[in-house]
Amino acid sequence: MQGFYFFRVPLLSEPPAIPLPEVDEYPEWYGDFNLQYPVSPVIVPANHGHTINSVSKLRLILHHIARRAFRDKEPNEWMSWGEAMTLKSMLDNWFQNLPEPIKPRNVVFPWHLKIQWVLRGKI
């Protein structure tokens, strides 16, 4: 993440070899909790696992972008149109496959909003 934000090659050249478990298959790995807004009688699950898993997948894509865009060997080499479109496709695919609880139409909590703001370049 730091490489992406500070225009440097990431310190780790590769992401972890073992991916995070899928939330729907191993929900106990993530844990969850319920919240209730003060003015509402409804208790809402935080969907912590979906949030953590989705943000982690986004960070893997950003790591890939930073590795390609800010590499030290040839810093002035332009990214080809094909490479840029591949990266855009990765981001579009990630967004289209967000779990239902954190899709834009279902956001409830501030950390869900933050994901949406990041995607729109607001943060």
What range defines the domain where residue 116 resides?
Answer: 1-17+51-123
Higher pLDDT, 69 or 119: 69
Q: What is the pLDDT of residues 10-59, one digit of tens each?
A: 878 888 899 899 998 998 999 888 888 888 898 988 888 998 898 899 88
Number of domains in the chain: 1
Has residue 25 been placed in a domain? no
Residue 76 has a pLDDT of 60
Find the mean pLDDT for residues 105-118: 69
SS3 labels along 40-101: CCCCEECCHHHHHHHHHHHHHHHHHHHHHHCCCCCCCCCCCHHHHHHHHHHHHHHHHCCCHH
Has residue 83 been placed in a domain? yes
Phi then psi dihedrals of residue 45, to 5 deg: -70, 140
Has residue 41 been placed in a domain? no
What angle (nearest 5°) sits at the alpha carbon of residue 62, between those of residues 56 and 63? 90
Residue 89 has a pLDDT of 94
Q: What one-character DSSP code corresponds to residue 111? A: H
Has residue 35 been placed in a domain? no
Has residue 36 been placed in a domain? no
Residue 26 has a pLDDT of 92
Q: What is the pLDDT of residues 55-81, one digit of tens each?
A: 899 889 988 888 887 765 665 667 788
Statement: residue 110 has pLDDT above 60 = yes
Has residue 13 been placed in a domain? yes
Find the mean pLDDT for residues 88-99: 91
Has residue 28 been placed in a domain? no
Has residue 85 been placed in a domain? yes
Class of residue 10 by CB neighbours under 10 A (exposed 0-12, middle 13-18, buried 19+): buried
